[in-house]
Structure 1
Amino acid sequence: MKNLRPILLLLITFFLFCLSVQANQSRERHQSPSNIEELKVALADLMQHYKVPAAGITMIDKQGLVYFDAIGLANREENISVNTDSVFRLGSTSKMLVALSVLKLVEDKKLSLQDKLVDLAPEIEFNNPYAATHPIRIMHLLEHTTGWDEQHYPEFAHNQTPPISLKDGLDFHPHSRTSRWHPGSRYAYNNTGPTVAAYIVEKVSGKTFEAFVQTHFFNMLDMQHSTFLYDEVFTSMPTVGYDDKNRPIDYHHFINRPASALNSSIKDMTNLLTLFIQRGQFNGTQILSEQSLVRMETPSSSLSAQKGMQTGYGLSNYSAGYKQWVYREHRGGIEGYMSEISYIPEQQTGHVILLNTKNIAAFQKISNLIKDYETQQLSRSEAPAAVLLMDQKTNKTEEAFLASTQTKPAIEGLYYEINPRVELFSFINYISNMKTFSFDENTLIQGKAIGASKNYYHPVSDDLYRSDETGLISLARVVDPIEGEVLHYAYGASAVKTSVLKKINPWLGYTQLLIGFLWLLIIIFSLFKTLGIGIAKLRGRSVPIEVKQLRRWPLLASWAFISIWGLLFVAGSNPYYYMAGPTIVSIGIMLMTIIFALCSVFAIATVFIKKSNNVNKSSYWYYTIASGVHFCVMLFLLKFGVIGIIFWA
């Protein structure tokens, strides 16, 4: 019992900490500013609280500019103030210009979203095992439905001066471009699809991607302080990016430039936002048709989109629910910077946020503050309506489905995710992102196996469900070519992530969660047990050899994984450096996973070989359980390729 006291104290402390965090979050809830002056004060308070160096913010409505300002320091070291021409880095918001460029070529009849990648660019290396029936098309590249993995660490880390061409960049490390499932069947965000699309823009137009964007968008939108390169546009008025410790970040030349390397000012981004607010027009000139923008905002290539789901990722443009409103937006985040361009098309209202720090908490608070202010100016009656739909096959209206119980048993249950963005870490989502679905009368409730967050849906057909909050169809039941019946689910404040969920036997699912929880307790207990062994040795106490043999391997297995966590913590300070090649950290993680596996095998073997003679029963059963749990976790990690993991491959 004495050995359990530290564990109980730790759990009680953790529980009290969670209650404290929840209380602090409740206290932080603010009243929405009712005018611009109150908004300015609230923004200044947030920036000071979160130590945000600088921000560029603009807001537009039907009448024009509502708010437009740059606040703070572009360079803390030299005390240089930011202004509306200061150039920030935007990260993934860059992808919007790839989609706009492709749509421009589509309007000019030089390209089609249905064109096959293999026909347009056979020189680009990729692997699609399903090409005979499901070729990769241009729309798949922009909607992230190619099935490709996220770019690998060597691609993230590549930083050559001067930067290489798009073609050389795509030739550098093509291993991530393998379709893990049929193109069009599942969504999985990655940086390589838009880059390949940008290369096709180059090939079709005969210009570099940067030159094409300059001619058709930067010049037309009077974006004089925008560039994808480290050139005089950036260096003449740069905004320094800062990490979470307020240290300046060096400029990184991304290998997938079109997907993440846009540099721009808040003045220029105001003009780009105006293009979306005015439905393709700028200063009276129609730069792109409204139909093209509607297509950009409409998910089309996935199975769920074809079924009728209304939320998700379009052409580098995704839906983001906020209260009862649905924004179209794209966010970006790279080391030292964050960005957001977000708007409600039917309300002609939107905003841009640029920060020179990657402080996610600060960014989310600022985004919510601005969305609060924007939406309180709108009439609640203008929000998207939860209209009744009719199933074309059965001619049943929503009321008929609400009264029906046919589909309830089929959809209720426990689900896990099968469309990981990063295949290497798919095991994390498999456990931590399990979802539950159950009916309360005629309302479908989505919960989490771990956690209390919930979303509510109502059936509008046998396979489609509308969000209780936005009124849009945000959940669809489809048949996956590989897994059979699955759910597509675009959720949360940002529907950029559309999970594809496969039902799992509840006994199996919750058993896995229980084993995971026991495993964490065993690792924590191992820390205290090791300390106890050390104290016992100092006092000259001896234990039977059978006890030593029984406890040795599970303790070593625990310490092997503690070492992995420590190495991952070190890698977190500079993952590009530590993970993109064979370093002490990356090799150490690989070796420690192997050591963990070997210790787990030796531990379970020792339990079967050794008897409980000369061993305290409680100790014997603890180490038996610990050995069994380590062995189960080892098999789970082995299944997902974590044992012997090579990050730089």
Structure 2
Amino acid sequence: MQNKNKSLFINYIRAMFLLINLFFLSFSVNAENTKKTLSQLQQEIKNIQKSANIPALGVVLIDSGEPVWITSLGKANLAENTAVDEHSLFRIGSISKMFIGLSVLKLVEEGKLNLNDKVRDLAPEIAFENKWQATNPVLLVHLLEHTSGWGEMTLAEFAHTPTPPIALKEALMQYPQNRKSRWPAGTRQAYSNIGAAVASYIVEKTTGMLYEDYITTNFFLPLGMANSTYFKPTTNKVLTTTYINGEAQDYQPIIYRSEGAMNASPAEMANLLQFFIQQGEFLGENLISSDSLQRMQIPTTTLGSAQGITAGYGLTNYSSGFGEYNTAFHGHDGSIEGAMASLAYVPALNSGYVVMSSGGGAAMYKIVKLIKAYILRGIEPYKAIPTDLPSAFKKINGYYKKINPQNNLQEAFNDLLNLMIFSHDEKGFHFAPLLGSRSSSPYAISENLLTNPSNGLPSITLVNDPIVGEAIQLGMHLYVPVSKGWVWSKILLLIIVTILTSGTLLFALFWLPLNAYRKTLTSQQITSRLWPTLTSACFVIYVFSLVLVDSAGNLVAISKISPLSLTILALSLCYPLITIMSLFRLWQLKRGNEKSKGYWLSFSICGIHLLNVFLLASYGMIAFRIWLLYHI
């Protein structure tokens, strides 16, 4: 097995975007319902597993209240040729968070907690920063709905894999710097593993029990999930090995176990799925009330929620849709090193699914698409009835960027690759991602609220953000307008930098050896060519250092101050310094070269690199302290 930390950084980023694909499945696929039979569905899923080389796949399908397919396919470990069955354990990642929400709701029912309790009062020993504490204190509900304003975990937290496991309180004491509200709590949603971990600590403190023990006693055992665990199994339970690109991974502990360390089998996840479909009931016993379960499914603490939006992230439970079938799925997805999982259910149809894989990546997207289509096979797509678009939405037109990023890395992707285009015409209101291929057309249900035909839930409204002012909320995301010039100037800059850098370095491969042989260039000509070459080379080395550092598998070294992380810092400083030095030296050569096209080309290349430096600096990529990655 390879080092347990190998490729965690890049694979976390890949997983993040795969989970976004799963959540926005309805926005990005042509969801034609082909009304497959169960046997056809099963065969197609098996074909995907085979073609994608997924070592092990667990599937649960409940249709109209009946478990019609509970299975595991493949091998738990390829090297040992260990077969899987419905009792084999899979890593389910952030689906674990659903138990945090359930435990809090149970304690609310018992009168031991209130969703509106202030976190500062519940756990004063947990340090966090909130400059809006007087007007917008962080509440318990904000931790569960990810509206605290806190950022995502730092790279150091992802790399911290304590063995043996440490207590939750001890873990939370180690990285307090990232618990900082970036906007007033209860206004925007941004997914934060840290917030969920603090919520689970509050459960632990309130009950006087270890969180894992509380969940086992109050949920695992009543649900017939006795083999489910937050720890690496030490008995004869078969745990599927996780794989990345066909390579087996060591078991990856998590510093905050409650938010993503759970292992469970298809047989036991079928019980959990039935519990959600039956709205809190299992085998005739209500573990929590149906009212609490329904509250779990509805977000209430964003600006849009106050306007009537019910789509998005509730209490560790979020909604999604499919195509334009006007039907809401509720549930959660999960990802961990070399494994992915998805759980979703439709209470109105008494149906739902769980899919768990040890590897496979994008194949999960295809499998989820097939299963959702099967569950909705008896429903006809929504056919919009032409209605007048409310006047408030007629002024929404153009490019919009998302302003509730998880972290600084995601902010850069939002600005460059995750922009949304809103428009309207005589047929209604439309939105589509800038780099996407499919538009969605929500319909009005009030003067300030539109419903998404994918999930059938109120999803779009206009809000007044306390920091930026007027914005539009789409599901759980908040958007503000940006100009076409703002959008395309950044995209074109990156394209131009890529072309000029590649061209400069390729040209250097010819003129450097040729001049060494023939010595035809003057010293000024060599200087004017050499500086843009050095600038371009420095940029390429910096970029490749970020890519190649992952292949070294040394996540621990880049998650703290070390020779490796300091080298990356040095390279991120070297690029702007050489760029500025190049422009200075070329300016000194201006006299006598005013009419030289080669000189002005070199000067322009370095000038473009200077603009690129400013762009990278705006996202924290200059003087880049990689050990603080994901820290806002």
Q: TM-score, normalised by structure 2?
A: 0.89
Q: CA deviation at 1:247?
A: 1.5
Q: CA deviation at 1:413?
A: 2.6
Mapping 1:609-620, distance limit 5 Å: 609-611=588-590, 613-614=592-593, 617-620=596-599
Q: CA deviation at 1:578?
A: 4.4
Letter in 2 for 1:47: Q
SS of 2:147 mapped into structure 1? coil
8 A Cα contact 2:572 2:621, kept in partner = yes
Matched residues in 2 for 1:29 and 1:564: separation? Answer: 41
Deviations 1:392-414 (A, max 9, x none): xxxxxx94x52x556423x2232
Matched residues in 2 for 1:590 and 1:347: separation? Answer: 54
The match for 1:176 among 144, 168, 178 is 178
Q: CA deviation at 1:321?
A: 1.5
| CA separation of 1:223 and 1:405: change in aligned 2, threshold 3 A | closer
| CA separation of 1:209 and 1:470: change in aligned 2, threshold 3 A | closer
Q: CA deviation at 1:163?
A: 0.6
Q: CA deviation at 1:642?
A: 1.7
Q: CA deviation at 1:80?
A: 0.7
The match for 2:43 among 33, 41, 44 is 41
Q: CA deviation at 1:608?
A: 3.8
Q: CA deviation at 1:319?
A: 1.1
| CA separation of 1:511 and 1:379: change in aligned 2, threshold 3 A | closer
The match for 1:523 among 501, 506, 521 is 501
Matched residues in 1 for 2:328 and 2:32: separation? Answer: 22
Deviations 1:475-494 (A, max 9, x none): 2221111111112223xxxx
| CA separation of 1:591 and 1:42: change in aligned 2, threshold 3 A | same
Mapping 1:344-383, distance limit 5 Å: 344-357=346-359, 359-376=360-377, 378-380=378-380
Aligned twin of 2:572? 593
Aligned twin of 1:55? 57
| CA separation of 1:428 and 1:578: change in aligned 2, threshold 3 A | farther
8 A Cα contact 1:612 1:620, kept in partner = no
Letter in 2 for 1:128: N
Aligned twin of 1:159? 161
SS of 1:534 mapped into structure 2? helix
8 A Cα contact 2:233 2:239, kept in partner = no
| CA separation of 1:516 and 1:533: change in aligned 2, threshold 3 A | same
Task: Identify which range, 334-343 or 467-476, moves more after superposition.
Answer: 467-476
SS of 2:192 mapped into structure 1? coil
SS of 1:86 mapped into structure 2? coil
Deviations 1:279-316 (A, max 9, x none): 11111111111111111110111111111122111111
Aligned twin of 2:400? 415
The match for 1:546 among 524, 529, 533 is 524
8 A Cα contact 2:33 2:374, kept in partner = no
Matched residues in 2 for 1:407 and 1:532: separation? Answer: 57
SS of 1:360 mapped into structure 2? coil
Matched residues in 1 for 2:428 and 2:250: separation? Answer: 51
Aligned twin of 2:441? 456
Q: CA deviation at 1:238?
A: 1.5
Aligned twin of 1:605? 584
SS of 1:130 mapped into structure 2? coil
Aligned twin of 2:318? 318
Matched residues in 1 for 2:223 and 2:391: separation? Answer: 54
Task: Identify which range, 187-196 or 462-471, moves more after superposition.
Answer: 462-471
Deviations 1:117-169 (A, max 9, x none): 00000000111111010000111101111111101011111112211100000
Mapping 1:104-119, distance limit 5 Å: 104-119=106-121
The match for 1:203 among 202, 205, 216 is 205
8 A Cα contact 1:571 1:578, kept in partner = no
Matched residues in 2 for 1:371 and 1:104: separation? Answer: 30
Matched residues in 2 for 1:460 and 1:627: separation? Answer: 54
| CA separation of 1:231 and 1:73: change in aligned 2, threshold 3 A | closer
8 A Cα contact 1:419 1:499, kept in partner = yes
SS of 2:197 mapped into structure 1? helix
8 A Cα contact 1:488 1:500, kept in partner = yes
Matched, 1:560 2:546: no
Deviations 1:525-564 (A, max 9, x none): 2331232233424542432333333333332232222122
The match for 1:486 among 464, 467, 471 is 471
Aligned twin of 2:419? 434
Deviations 1:323-369 (A, max 9, x none): 12321121111112111111112111101111111x32111111112
Matched residues in 2 for 1:306 and 1:406: separation? Answer: 17
The match for 1:624 among 603, 613, 628 is 603
Q: CA deviation at 1:185?
A: 1.2
Matched residues in 2 for 1:546 and 1:418: separation? Answer: 48
Matched residues in 1 for 2:435 and 2:530: separation? Answer: 32
Aligned twin of 2:27? none
SS of 2:189 mapped into structure 1? coil
8 A Cα contact 2:421 2:432, kept in partner = yes
| CA separation of 1:204 and 1:454: change in aligned 2, threshold 3 A | same
8 A Cα contact 2:328 2:454, kept in partner = no
Aligned twin of 1:633? 612
Matched residues in 2 for 1:533 and 1:334: separation? Answer: 48
Matched residues in 2 for 1:481 and 1:425: separation? Answer: 22
SS of 2:248 mapped into structure 1? coil
| CA separation of 1:113 and 1:236: change in aligned 2, threshold 3 A | same
| CA separation of 1:367 and 1:615: change in aligned 2, threshold 3 A | same
Count of residues in correspondence between the two structures: 597
Task: Identify which range, 444-453 or 303-312, moves more after superposition.
Answer: 444-453
| CA separation of 1:428 and 1:589: change in aligned 2, threshold 3 A | farther
SS of 1:41 mapped into structure 2? helix
| CA separation of 1:484 and 1:29: change in aligned 2, threshold 3 A | closer
| CA separation of 1:525 and 1:296: change in aligned 2, threshold 3 A | same
Matched residues in 2 for 1:452 and 1:536: separation? Answer: 47
SS of 1:187 mapped into structure 2? coil
8 A Cα contact 2:408 2:620, kept in partner = no
8 A Cα contact 1:99 1:316, kept in partner = yes
Letter in 1 for 2:417: S
Larger relative contact order (C-alpha < 8 A, sep ≥ 6)? 2
Q: CA deviation at 1:379?
A: 3.3
Letter in 1 for 2:425: D
The root-mean-square deviation of aligned C-alpha atoms, in Å, is 2.4
Q: CA deviation at 1:109?
A: 1.0
Matched residues in 1 for 2:195 and 2:282: separation? Answer: 29
8 A Cα contact 2:583 2:607, kept in partner = yes
| CA separation of 1:604 and 1:538: change in aligned 2, threshold 3 A | closer
Matched residues in 2 for 1:462 and 1:622: separation? Answer: 55
Which consecutive unaligned segments of at least 5 residues does structure 1 have?
A: 1-27, 388-397, 491-497
Mapping 1:96-245, distance limit 5 Å: 96-232=98-234, 236-244=237-245
Aligned twin of 2:429? 444
Matched residues in 1 for 2:520 and 2:94: separation? Answer: 60
Task: Identify which range, 86-95 or 547-556, moves more after superposition.
Answer: 547-556
Matched residues in 1 for 2:92 and 2:436: separation? Answer: 32
Which consecutive unaligned segments of at least 5 residues does structure 2 have?
A: 1-29
Q: Percent identity?
A: 33
Matched residues in 1 for 2:469 and 2:147: separation? Answer: 18
| CA separation of 1:445 and 1:602: change in aligned 2, threshold 3 A | farther
| CA separation of 1:557 and 1:87: change in aligned 2, threshold 3 A | same
Matched, 1:466 2:468: no
| CA separation of 1:513 and 1:215: change in aligned 2, threshold 3 A | same
Aligned twin of 1:6? none
SS of 1:313 mapped into structure 2? coil
| CA separation of 1:214 and 1:429: change in aligned 2, threshold 3 A | same
Aligned twin of 1:505? 483
